[in-house]
Structure 1
Amino acid sequence: MFAVVKIAGQQFKVEAGQSLYVPHLQGKSGDKVEFSDVLLVNGDGNFSAGADVKATVKAEIVSDLIKGDKVIAFKMKRRKGFRKKHGHRTFYTRIKIESIA
């Protein structure tokens, strides 16, 4: 059984027992979270999508704050002396899916 869930504006395909990294969620390690914005559910070969979905996904926060890889945005215009360097690291939260109900 799997489901497609919308978390923080991104879609994730999840299964029970799976752990994944999602954009940063409020909460501490060990907190339980529930996602009600389920887009598709596959259970026993039966698909339900759209308004027919009446499922919620329950998960537990494993690690609350994880830094992603550094991303560098470098802009340069040749022969002009213009150089601009910006960088950032995105924060993620690691969750473990407990059940799809």
Structure 2
Amino acid sequence: MFAVVKIAGQQFKVEKDQTLYVPHVEGNAGDKIELSDVILADSDGNLTVGDAIKVKVQAEILDHVKGETVIAYKQKRRKGFRKKKGHRTQYTKIKISDIA
């Protein structure tokens, strides 16, 4: 059984006992969360799409981590203008505990 859920504007295909990194979700490590925005669900080959979905996805927050450094570099030619900035995106590591 799998489901496609929407988390912070991104879609993820999830299965039971799967760990994945998603955009930052509020909560502390060890907290249980419910992902209620389910787009598609599959149960033994029966696909359910749209408003008829009655599936709830339970997940557990494992950790909050930072991604790789992304460098934003700007330059204007012949002007001597250079600007270099970077940032690290916040992610949350979650484990899917149940799809019911």
Q: How high is the TM-score relative to the length of structure 2?
A: 0.96
Name the amino acid aligned to 1:32. Answer: K
What is the alpha-carbon distance in structure 1 between the residues aligned to residue 27 and residue 69 of structure 2?
A: 24
Other structure's SS at 2:51 match = helix
- 1:38 equivalent in structure 2: 38
What is the alpha-carbon distance in structure 2 between the residues aligned to residue 29 and residue 84 of structure 1?
A: 37
What is the alpha-carbon distance in structure 2 between the residues aligned to residue 54 and residue 2 of structure 1?
A: 13
TM superposition shift of 1:62: 0.8
What is the alpha-carbon distance in structure 2 between the residues aligned to residue 41 and residue 7 of structure 1?
A: 15
Name the amino acid aligned to 1:73. Answer: A
Instruction: Flag structure 1 segments of 5+ consecutive residues without an equivalent.
Output: none
TM superposition shift of 1:52: 1.3
After TM superposition, where is structure 1 displaced by more than 2 Å over at least 4 residues in a row? none
TM superposition shift of 1:92: 0.6
TM superposition shift of 1:81: 0.8
What is the alpha-carbon distance in structure 1 between the residues aligned to residue 29 and residue 84 of structure 2?
A: 35
1:17 aligns with 2:17: yes
What is the alpha-carbon distance in structure 2 between the residues aligned to residue 58 and residue 24 of structure 1?
A: 17
What is the alpha-carbon distance in structure 2 between the residues aligned to residue 54 and residue 16 of structure 1?
A: 17
- 1:8 equivalent in structure 2: 8
TM superposition shift of 1:79: 1.1
